């Protein structure tokens, strides 16, 4: 396994085909194989990057309640995933642990939770998306709401292009209610629940986008702007990837980014423009995200250069789909008139240079197409930075200053 496979991408990041165990062995000739169950688990922020995460339960594949069982693999977005095959009709009970019952999952207040249960259906594949609120040995108190400034919500937004409704969080500049005629540029960001509120972030840590924007706009360091955070759903891997992965992460699917792009461009942006006092032109509209969110930002950015002119490509998952994004950049017929921020932390793949090298290849491809570093391309490598919301919070100030400088007024 290469270090890329533990590259966290929020991810965010954002599964291997071969991990997991087959509980029942190969199916007899002429019979369909047993259904495959995939566990997709989000863990608390305090979970260290080298932690082992297990599914332990009442089946031999799950360790017969020994505290271990099915060992999960860290995904590109810092979640954990694994799969087993079980005969149809099998009933299992289980919990998530870090290898012992002293580290079993608890609820947000540290109290015991009931056993999780599943009965295997007749579908070839089933996916369980779970979130561990807290570990038994975790002493930190649960995250509290941490919103700053004038924040609005649009709840349960449906799309004709996407299967699930989603929430939208909108941060408005401090002066928004005082100048009823003034309009503002807009920055759209992915993984909206992780941007401004620790209580909604799946890790318990946020980007602190609201605090940073409030301070920078008030100080005159950043142009007053509106920030729109688009919540992700269980379809995140599909919506944030432009192709299916053909390698280690093939079981995640993917390839629905164009439908997600239609939602943003044809449905959400018109709604935001109707609801808030926005500047609607491409020169005033940006798109940003990290990990797979960075990947989909660049993909949709170069697909819609007449919609998004300011792109924040943060810790992008360049590896996805055999580095498909590099081929797309190289296939551009001409350079687009866009301003790009591209960055990567040097420790995002646990000491390997692989993710750094991938991102350098992306930078080089952009330069070959005509972008100029220091002019319309800002490329940054952050020494020691890992793949977490906390790391992205450390550089959101610089991202906002570059994409929305105060001189733009």
Q: Which of 72-76, 177-181, 195-199, 252-256 has the highest mean pLDDT?
A: 195-199
Bridge partners for 94 per DSSP = 57, 116
CA R_g for the chain: 22
Gap between the Cα atoms of 228 and 235, Å rounded = 19
356 has pLDDT over 60: yes
3-state helix, strand, coil in the chain (%, to 5): 25, 25, 50
**Residue 30 — very low, low, confident or very high, per pLDDT cuts 50/70/90?**
low
The mean pLDDT of 101-112, rounded to a whole number, is 88
- Of residues 78 and 156, more confidence is placed in 156
20 has pLDDT over 80: no
Q: Give residue 144's pLDDT.
A: 81
Averaged pLDDT score across all residues of the chain: 89
State pLDDT tens for residues 146-182.
999 999 999 999 999 999 999 999 999 999 999 889 9
Rounded to two decimals, what is the model's pTM?
0.70
State pLDDT tens for residues 223-274.
999 999 999 998 999 999 999 988 777 877 899 999 999 999 999 999 999 9
Map out the domains of the chain as residue ranges.
3-135, 150-408
Question: CB–CB of 227/187 below 8 Å?
Answer: yes
Q: Give residue 296's pLDDT.
A: 98
Superfamily of domain 150-408: Alpha/Beta hydrolase fold, catalytic domain (3.40.50.1820)
Domains 3-135 and 150-408 share a fold: no
362 has pLDDT over 80: yes
Q: Domain 3-135: which topology?
A: Immunoglobulin-like (2.60.40)
Question: CB–CB of 81/109 below 8 Å?
Answer: no
Question: CB–CB of 77/8 below 8 Å?
Answer: yes
Element (H, E) at 365: helix 354-369
The mean pLDDT of 273-280, rounded to a whole number, is 97
**Which ranges in 20-112 belong to alpha helices (H)?**
none
19 has pLDDT over 70: no
Gap between the Cα atoms of 152 and 132, Å rounded = 28
Gap between the Cα atoms of 225 and 214, Å rounded = 10
Q: Give residue 333's pLDDT.
A: 93
The mean pLDDT of 46-75, rounded to a whole number, is 91
Check residue 387 and report its DSSP letter: S
Q: Give residue 206's pLDDT.
A: 93
Q: Give residue 12's pLDDT.
A: 34
Element (H, E) at 213: helix 209-219
**Residue 49 — very low, low, confident or very high, per pLDDT cuts 50/70/90?**
confident
Q: Give residue 227's pLDDT.
A: 98
Gap between the Cα atoms of 282 and 275, Å rounded = 18
Q: Give residue 139's pLDDT.
A: 65
**Residue 141 — very low, low, confident or very high, per pLDDT cuts 50/70/90?**
low
- Of residues 23 and 209, more confidence is placed in 209
Q: Give residue 350's pLDDT.
A: 72
400 has pLDDT over 50: yes
Gap between the Cα atoms of 85 and 64, Å rounded = 16
């Amino acid at each position: 396994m290469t270090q890329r496979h533990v590259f966290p991408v929020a991810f965010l990041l954002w599964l291997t085909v071969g991990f997991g165990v087959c509980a029942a062995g190969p199916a007899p000739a002429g019979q369909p194989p047993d259904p495959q169950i995939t566990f997709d688990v989000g863990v608390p922020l305090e979970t260290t990057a080298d932690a082992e995460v297990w599914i332990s339960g009442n089946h031999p594949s799950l360790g017969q309640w020994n505290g271990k069982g099915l060992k999960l693999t860290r995904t590109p977005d810092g979640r954990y995933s694994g799969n087993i095959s079980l005969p149809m009709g099998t009933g299992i009970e289980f919990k998530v642990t870090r290898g012992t019952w002293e580290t079993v999952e608890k609820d947000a207040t540290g109290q015991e939770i009931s056993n999780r249960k599943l009965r295997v259906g007749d579908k070839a594949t089933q996916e369980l998306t779970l979130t561990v609120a807290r570990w038994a040995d975790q002493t930190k108190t649960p995250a509290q709401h941490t919103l700053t400034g004038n924040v609005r919500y649009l709840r349960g937004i449906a799309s004709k292009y996407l299967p699930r409704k989603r929430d939208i969080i909108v941060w408005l500049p401090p002066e928004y209610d005082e100048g009823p005629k003034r309009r503002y540029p807009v920055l759209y960001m992915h993984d909206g629940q992780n941007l401004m509120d620790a209580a909604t972030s799946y890790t318990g840590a946020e980007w602190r986008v609201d605090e940073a924007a409030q301070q920078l706009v008030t100080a005159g360091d950043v142009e007053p702007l509106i920030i729109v955070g688009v919540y992700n759903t269980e379809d995140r891997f599909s919506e944030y990837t432009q192709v299916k992965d053909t390698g280690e992460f093939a079981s995640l699917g993917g390839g629905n980014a164009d439908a997600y792009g239609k939602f943003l461009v044809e449905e959400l942006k018109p709604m935001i423009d109707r609801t808030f006092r926005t500047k609607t032109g491409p020169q005033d509209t940006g798109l940003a995200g990290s990990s797979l969110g960075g990947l989909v930002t660049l993909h949709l950015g170069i697909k819609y250069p007449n919609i998004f002119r300011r792109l924040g490509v943060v810790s992008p998952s360049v590896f996805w789909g055999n580095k498909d994004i590099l081929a797309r950049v190289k296939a551009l017929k001409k350079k687009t008139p866009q301003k790009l921020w591209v960055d990567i932390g040097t420790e995002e793949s646990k000491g390997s240079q692989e993710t750094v090298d991938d991102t350098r290849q992306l930078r080089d491809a952009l330069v070959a197409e005509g972008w100029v570093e220091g002019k319309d391309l800002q490329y940054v490598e952050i020494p020691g930075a890992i793949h977490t919301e906390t790391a992205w919070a450390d550089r959101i100030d610089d991202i906002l200053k570059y994409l929305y400088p105060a001189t733009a007024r």
